[in-house]
Structure formats: structure tokens, C-alpha cells
Homo-oligomer: A and B are copies of this chain.
Amino acid sequence: MSFSITRIVEFHETDMAGMVHFANFFKYFEAAESEYFRALGWSIFDADANLRWPRVSVSCDFKRPVRFGDQVRVDLMVRSVDCRSLELEFILYREANNESSVAATGRCVNVCAYYDAASRRVRARSIPDELLAALQCDIGASQAATEAAK
């Protein structure tokens, strides 16, 4: 089982080619990531716990255009996690007339980090045990979901 969000494409997300500007797909993926962390009881940016997740790498492959007013669904899968970094995979579907077609797939690798006030730098840290366990738990489930989608 994967984690999903659904949203309607907004006007300001389009460009003059009449479709969603490609950079906005990363905002959709990030929204899914935020909701996923929230569902786990955490946050992708937590000032109190001094926990954040700077990105190391991201990518996206585009299959079909998505347009103003379209309903899209983003599935999020945990690909891998170790004590410091997390790899997520995303599949964005355009949903219409009871059919879903894959519009884009994406990936991101984030590291767990904290803000060190003394040096004014963001530094890597270990993922909190409880969160690590929850993320690991979702790997197997995600793999099954990805296989099923193929």
C-alpha cells in the first residue's frame, strides 16, 4: 500500500504552453511528502524538534501533460531509508472519467538534518529511531504497490 494525495490543478500552475509548468510537479510531490510525514506524526520541517530534510537529488520523468482543472493523484512510496537519508518515489496520475493515467514519475533523496545555531549551518543528523522504524515499515508495502502498478 502506498500513501496518496489528490488535488485539482490550479490556474497559476500552468504556463503559456497550456499545461502545468514542469517545475510545479515537484511542488505536487512535496505536498505528498508533507502529508505523508504528517500522517506519521512528524513534519518535514519541525522547528521545535530542530528537524528538517534538505534534498540531495530529485528527478522527474514526464509522460503526459496535466492541465488546469484536472484532478491529479500523487502516490508516494518509500524506496529506501538508512540512518541518515530517505529515498521516496512518486507516481502522478491524471484522473478523468474513472480512469487514471500516469502523467509523471519522480524521485527524491533527502537527508535528515538540523540547524546548528552556533555555526549557522544545516548539518546532517541521524533519523530519530521512532521515525526510522515507521519509514522502514513502509518500504515493503511500497515495493508491493510499485510492482502492482507495473
Q: Cβ of A26 < 8 Å from any Cβ of B?
A: yes
Minimum C-beta distance from A13 to chain B (A): 8
Is B34's CB under 8 angstroms from A11's CB? yes
Number of copies of this chain that the complex holds: 4
Q: In the complex, which of the residues B12, B19, B22 contacts A58, with contact meaning CB atoms closer than 8 Å?
A: B22
Pick 29 A–B contacts, CB within 8 A, sort by A.
A8-B34, A10-B27, A10-B30, A10-B31, A10-B34, A11-B16, A11-B34, A11-B44, A12-B15, A12-B23, A12-B27, A12-B30, A14-B16, A16-B19, A16-B67, A17-B45, A17-B54, A23-B23, A23-B26, A34-B69, A38-B69, A43-B69, A56-B62, A57-B59, A57-B62, A58-B59, A58-B60, A59-B59, A59-B60
